């Protein structure tokens, strides 16, 4: 009897999730208590233009997981070295120098899917994904970069509706597709590539953004560190200048 129960448990563990809710729970449970809670890295950006020219910039980023990300601009055309962006409390706060240039409500889908899902309560993740417009009732299997994946939010052949892709083996977010923000007739795509193990969690060391299948922006990370102490107040907009 014990052997039969063991077999049933093993078989049950390989059952595909029936919907996005079950997949999100599986992602959380796989790394619950294992995922890192802080992350820092130097980000090298490449902006691609239709003329085959590029621009480069460098940012420094700190994240407290779940829910907090700070970007400090270092150099590059169009980016003030004293400026940056703060994502906290489901808001985006942009700084130009030491002055708040913009503040708006914003749930960062890449933070939710790439990091927070593994740390925060499942219901909180599901609520945010639903508010972002993902159809969590739709799930299917596919392949991506030679690996099997789950696709949540779109039927087979639909590469335009808002959807996210998750590696089946590692249960890591790898791809998001959605209608463009300014022109909904085009498809915007985000890829989390080059995953590297850090502790018992993972970091995607390259994030690629595409419009209509063409690269528009690429982020490459180095000097990656996890579970490092972060400066007190780094995610407090009132202390932007003093916590650089």
Q: Kindly calculate the radius of gyration of the chain based on its CA atoms and give it in whole angstroms.
A: 19
Query: Which pLDDT tens digit goes with each residue over 103-112?
Result: 999 999 999 9
Question: Could you count the other beta carbons within 10 Å of the beta carbon of residue 226?
Answer: 19
Overall pTM surpassing 0.95 (yes/no): no
Residue 79 binned pLDDT confidence (cut-offs 50, 70, 90): confident
Query: Which pLDDT tens digit goes with each residue over 113-141?
Result: 999 999 999 999 999 999 999 999 999 99
> Which structure tokens are listed for 38?
């802080």
* DSSP reduced 3-state for 65: coil
pLDDT over 80 (residue 161): yes
The DSSP line for 16-41 is PPSSHHHHHHHHHHHHTTTS-SEEEE
* DSSP reduced 3-state for 193: strand
Rounded CA-CA distance 55/161 in Å is 30
CA dihedral 217, 150, 25, 10 (to 10 degrees): -140
16-243 has which fold?
Answer: outer membrane lipoprotein receptor (LolB), chain A (2.50.20)
The DSSP bridge pattern shows strands 173-179 and 201-211 to be unpaired
Partners of 61 in the beta sheet?
41, 71
* DSSP reduced 3-state for 22: helix
Determine contact, residues 27/205, Cβ cutoff 8 Å.
no
Please give the pLDDT value at position 38.
97
Query: Which pLDDT tens digit goes with each residue over 80-97?
Result: 788 999 999 999 999 998
Please give the pLDDT value at position 14.
64
Region 10-26 average pLDDT: 83
**Nearest CA among 60, 63, 64, 62 for reference residue 73:** 60
> Which structure tokens are listed for 237?
């907009």
Partners of 6 in the beta sheet?
none
pLDDT over 50 (residue 5): no
Mention every residue, 6+ apart, whose C-beta is less than 8 A from residue 76: 45, 55, 56, 57, 58
pLDDT over 50 (residue 17): yes
pLDDT over 70 (residue 211): yes
> Which structure tokens are listed for 171?
């249960």
**Nearest CA among 128, 150, 127, 120 for reference residue 32:** 120
Residue 226 binned pLDDT confidence (cut-offs 50, 70, 90): very high
* DSSP reduced 3-state for 40: strand
How many residues appear in the chain? 244
């Amino acid at each position: 009897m014990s052997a039969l129960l063991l077999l049933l448990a093993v078989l049950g563990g390989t059952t595909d999730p029936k919907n996005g809710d079950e997949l999100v729970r599986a992602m959380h449970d796989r790394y619950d208590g294992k995922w890192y809670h802080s992350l820092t890295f130097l980000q090298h950006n490449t902006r691609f233009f239709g003329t085959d020219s590029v621009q480069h910039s460098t940012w420094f980023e700190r994240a407290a997981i779940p829910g907090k990300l700070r970007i400090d601009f270092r150099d590059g055309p169009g980016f003030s070295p004293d400026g940056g962006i703060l994502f906290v409390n489901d808001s985006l706060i942009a700084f130009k120098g030491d002055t708040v240039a913009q503040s708006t409500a914003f749930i960062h889908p890449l933070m939710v899917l790439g990091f927070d899902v593994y740390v925060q309560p499942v219901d909180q993740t599901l609520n945010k994904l639903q508010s972002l417009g993902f159809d969590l009732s739709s799930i299917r299997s596919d392949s991506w970069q030679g690996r099997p994946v789950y696709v949540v939010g779109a039927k087979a052949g639909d590469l335009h509706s808002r959807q996210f892709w998750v590696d089946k083996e590692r249960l890591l977010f790898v791809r998001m597709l959605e209608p463009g923000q300014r022109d909904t007739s085009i498809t915007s795509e985000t890829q989390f590539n080059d995953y590297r193990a850090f502790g018992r969690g993972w970091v995607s060391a390259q994030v690629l953004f595409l419009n209509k299948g063409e690269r528009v922006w690429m982020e490459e990370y180095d000097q990656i560190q996890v579970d490092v102490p972060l400066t007190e107040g780094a995610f407090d907009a009132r202390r932007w200048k003093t916590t650089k």
